Amino acid sequence: MNVRVGIVGVTGYTAAELIRLLDRHPSANLTAATSRGDAGKPIHGVHPSSAGRNDVMIERFDPERMKASCDVVMCCLPHGASAETVRQLIDVGLRVVDFSADFRLSSVEVYQKWYDVQHPWPERIGVTAYGMPEFFADDIRSADVVANPGCYPTSAILPLVPLIKAGLVDPSDVIVDSKSGVSGAGRSPKLATLYCETNESIAAYAVGSHRHQPEIKDLVHRISGKDIDVTFTPHLTPMDRGILSTIYLRPTGGSIDDGMQAWKQQYDSSPFVHVVDHLPATKHVSGTNHVQMTLRQAGDRWIAVCAIDNLTKGASGAAIQNMNVMFGLNETDGLL
């Protein structure tokens, strides 16, 4: 089987990463790409790395035309705009992996409060498969829409869930201090992401107000059944890619070894989640769909450290992993 893949919103970094991964995928390939601003150009006109490797032309979005050339669409649009587009793609019978936050949360109210928009398709909130095959593979397999997880939430949910579920840590005292590469801020020219603003500098942003905080809380609850109180602080770090989350926890009485075992049991059969003894650096997983996590004692606290690549496992790699599950391919195809 060869899966034909379309990308809606092809100009950004998540799209570039999809193109990179599809280039090496043994049983999927890029067949269509759309962009409002760059229609009419070849893909290498916006991503020069594609020169000589890819001859897809960028078109204006047209769901019927996508239906003719694609089996699945990766929708890389911003929240709000995305839901409406996803609906049109579903209406013509396509399957979709949605990169926006529009279908990730369980509650329309929470969504509308944090994202400050009216949701265009609220019926789908809370019933859409969350694209983390480590927990939702069955839902994903048959889904028409998969809500691709947020980058920070991936780096927090994966280590948190097994510890919370096993009752090994206090759910009311969780701090996630995350450090992300600059690609997470997107490819639109902005002062804050100019080279000379972010290079040789690290800073916190959106302190107390980042939209991934409710996503972490929601998903940990959905998977573990427990309500957590989480403080989440993202930092912009001078590197292209990678997220490191340092997570401060209060153990309830078990040992570090108990925590490591809970992780190993949960992720035993996962091809991408690795429980390691060393302190993971983002470089150890850079450019891959792999996750590394470890757990340490610090006084009477536990500190979990989790490293992912924000563009791969935190975005486009997860999307390909979801696609592999949706179409019955090997979960690791194109991702090693």
Considering only residues 157-186, where is the footprint of a second copy by CB under 8 A? 175, 177, 179, 181-183
Residue (of 329, 333, 335) closest to 71 by Cα position: 329
The answer to whether residue 36 forms part of the interface with a second copy (CB under 8 A) is: no
CB atoms < 10 A from the CB of 4, how many? 16
The answer to whether residue 246 forms part of the interface with a second copy (CB under 8 A) is: yes
Cβ atoms of residues 214 and 156 within 8 Å? no
Q: Kindly state the smallest distance separating residue 248's Cβ from a second copy, in Å.
A: 5
Q: What residues are annotated to the active site? A: 151
- Structure-token match 């790699």, residue found: 317
Q: Kindly state the smallest distance separating residue 329's Cβ from a second copy, in Å.
A: 14
Contacting a second copy (CB under 8 A), which of 2, 118, 142, 199?
199
Using the minimum distance from each CB to a second copy, give the nearer residue, 112 or 246: 246
Q: Kindly state the smallest distance separating residue 86's Cβ from a second copy, in Å.
A: 26
CA distance 128 to 206: 27
Using the minimum distance from each CB to a second copy, give the nearer residue, 86 or 305: 305
Beta bridge partners of 4: 29
The answer to whether residue 1 forms part of the interface with a second copy (CB under 8 A) is: no
3-state class of 108 per DSSP? helix
Site string for a second copy, 288-317 (x = CB under 8 A): x-x-x---xxxxxx-x-x-x----------
CA distance 246 to 293: 10
The answer to whether residue 136 forms part of the interface with a second copy (CB under 8 A) is: no
- Structure-token match 């869930």, residue found: 161
Interface stretch with a second copy, choices 91-99, 162-170, 198-206, 322-330 (CB under 8 A): 198-206
Interface stretch with a second copy, choices 68-76, 92-100, 142-150, 226-234 (CB under 8 A): 226-234
The answer to whether residue 223 forms part of the interface with a second copy (CB under 8 A) is: no
The answer to whether residue 55 forms part of the interface with a second copy (CB under 8 A) is: no
The answer to whether residue 279 forms part of the interface with a second copy (CB under 8 A) is: yes
Using the minimum distance from each CB to a second copy, give the nearer residue, 189 or 225: 189
Interface stretch with a second copy, choices 125-133, 148-156, 227-235, 323-331 (CB under 8 A): 227-235
Interface stretch with a second copy, choices 70-78, 126-134, 155-163, 228-236 (CB under 8 A): 228-236
Contacting a second copy (CB under 8 A), which of 7, 285, 320, 329?
285
Question: Rounded to 5 degrees, what angle do the CA atoms 201, 19, 313 make?
Answer: 55
Amino acid sitting at position 195: Y
Residue (of 108, 134, 131) closest to 121 by Cα position: 108
The answer to whether residue 255 forms part of the interface with a second copy (CB under 8 A) is: no
Kindly list the distances between the CA atom of residue 191 and the CA atoms of 195, 197, 198, 243, in Å, as whole numbers in the listed order.
Answer: 9, 7, 10, 22
Q: Which helix (H) or strand (E) holds 146?
A: strand 145-147
Phi and psi of 211, rounded to 5°? -70, -10
Contacting a second copy (CB under 8 A), which of 227, 229, 255, 330?
229
Q: Kindly state the smallest distance separating residue 259's Cβ from a second copy, in Å.
A: 14
3-state class of 242 per DSSP? coil
CA distance 216 to 228: 9
